[in-house]
C-alpha cells in the first residue's frame, strides 16, 4: 500500500497512466507516462528512477508531479522497465553506465524524445528529476546541452565525468543530500560546489541532517543496508524545495 507521500498531495488525483516504449542504444526501454487533469500543453518533468530500476517509488513520485499539474514521464535507464532483484546485476549495470557517460546521454536523449512525442507537452518547459543514480543520469543529460529549465537530484550518486562540461548546463541545479549519505560525503559535496562555481551554473545544495541515502524512499528501511534509510522530514522538506524551484523556473 502506498503511504501518504506516494498517494498525492497534489491538486487533483490522476489516473494510472500508461507505459511508453522507446529505444535507446538498441535496447527497448519502457517508461510510464502520467498526464495532469488540466487540458492543453503543460510543463513536463522527466523522472529518472533509483539505481534498482523503475519501481513503485519512481512511479509514485511521477504520479504526484502529475497531480501538481505537470506531464510526468518516469523514464527507464535499464531496459524493459525492469527493477533489479539481484544486487550484483544491478551493480554491473551501474558500473557500465558510470564508465560510459555517452550511453547515459543517449538514454536520456531517447527518453526526452519519447516525452516530446506526447502532444500535451510544452517542449519549451522541461525539467529533469533524478533519484540516486537517476540524478547522475539527469546531470549528464544537462551536461549534454539538453534544454532543461531545472535539474533536481535527490540523494544523488556520483560517476566519472568531465567537470568542464558542466558549463553546458543551462538550467538551475538543485541537489538534496542526506548528511549521512556515504555516497556523497563532504569531500564530494565540496568538489561538486567547485565544479558548479567554475562552470557558472545557477545551483543550490540542500543537506538534510541525520538523513541517509534513499531518504525519500519509504522502502529503504527494508533493504537491510545500513547506509540506506527513510527520513520523513527530509523527504517532506526536499519535496517542497523541488516544488518551489519548479514554480520559479516555469514562471520565468
- What pLDDT, in 10s, does the model give residues 91-139? 999 999 999 999 999 999 999 999 999 999 999 999 999 999 999 999 9
What is the torsion angle, in degrees rounded to the nearest 10, for the CA atoms of residue 27, residue 33, residue 39 and residue 43? -70
pLDDT tens across 2-42, in order? 333 333 444 576 888 999 999 999 999 999 999 999 999 99
Q: Which of 41, 49, 47 is nearest to 62 (CA)?
A: 47
Q: Provide mean pLDDT across the span 201-227.
A: 96
Q: How far is CA 97 from CA 92, 112, 242, 245, in A?
A: 9, 18, 26, 28
Indicate the pairing of strand 121-131 with strand 150-154: parallel
Most confidently modeled of 5-9, 169-173, 220-224? 169-173
Q: Which is it for the CA torsion 187, 230, 245, 35, positive or negative?
A: positive
* CATH H superfamily, domain 4-251: Alpha/Beta hydrolase fold, catalytic domain (3.40.50.1820)
Whether 234 and 178 have beta carbons less than 8 Å apart is answered as yes
pLDDT greater than 60 at residue 203:
yes
- Stated pTM of the model: 0.94
Q: What is the DSSP letter of 117?
A: T
3-state SS, residue 238: helix
Amino acid at each position: 500500500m502506498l503511504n501518504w507521500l506516494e498517494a498525492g498531495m497534489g491538486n487533483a488525483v490522476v489516473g494510472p497512466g500508461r507505459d511508453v516504449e522507446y529505444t535507446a542504444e538498441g535496447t527497448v526501454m519502457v517508461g510510464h507516462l502520467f498526464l495532469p487533469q488540466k487540458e492543453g500543453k503543460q510543463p513536463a518533468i522527466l523522472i529518472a528512477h533509483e539505481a534498482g530500476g523503475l519501481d513503485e517509488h519512481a512511479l509514485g513520485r511521477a504520479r504526484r508531479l502529475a497531480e501538481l499539474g505537470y506531464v510526468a514521464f518516469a523514464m527507464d535507464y535499464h531496459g524493459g522497465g525492469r527493477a533489479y532483484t539481484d544486487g550484483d546485476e544491478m551493480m554491473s549495470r551501474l558500473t557500465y553506465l558510470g564508465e560510459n557517460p555517452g550511453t547515459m546521454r543517449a538514454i536520456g536523449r531517447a527518453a526526452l524524445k519519447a516525452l516530446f512525442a506526447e502532444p500535451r507537452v510544452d517542449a519549451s518547459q522541461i525539467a529533469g528529476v533524478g533519484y540516486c543514480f537517476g540524478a547522475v543520469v539527469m546531470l549528464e543529460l544537462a551536461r549534454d546541452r539538453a534544454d532543461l529549465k531545472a535539474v533536481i537530484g535527490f540523494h544523488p550518486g556520483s560517476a566519472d565525468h568531465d567537470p568542464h562540461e558542466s558549463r553546458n548546463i543551462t538550467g538551475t541545479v538543485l541537489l538534496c543530500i542526506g548528511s549521512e549519505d556515504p555516497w556523497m560525503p563532504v569531500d564530494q559535496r565540496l568538489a561538486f560546489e567547485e565544479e558548479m562555481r567554475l562552470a557558472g551554473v545557477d545551483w543550490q545544495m540542500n543537506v538534510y541532517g541525520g538523513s541517509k541515502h534513499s531518504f525519500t524512499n519509504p522502502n529503504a528501511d527494508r533493504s537491510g543496508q545500513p547506509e540506506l534509510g527513510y527520513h520523513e522530514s527530509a523527504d517532506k522538506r526536499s519535496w517542497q524545495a523541488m516544488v518551489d524551484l519548479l514554480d520559479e523556473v516555469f514562471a520565468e
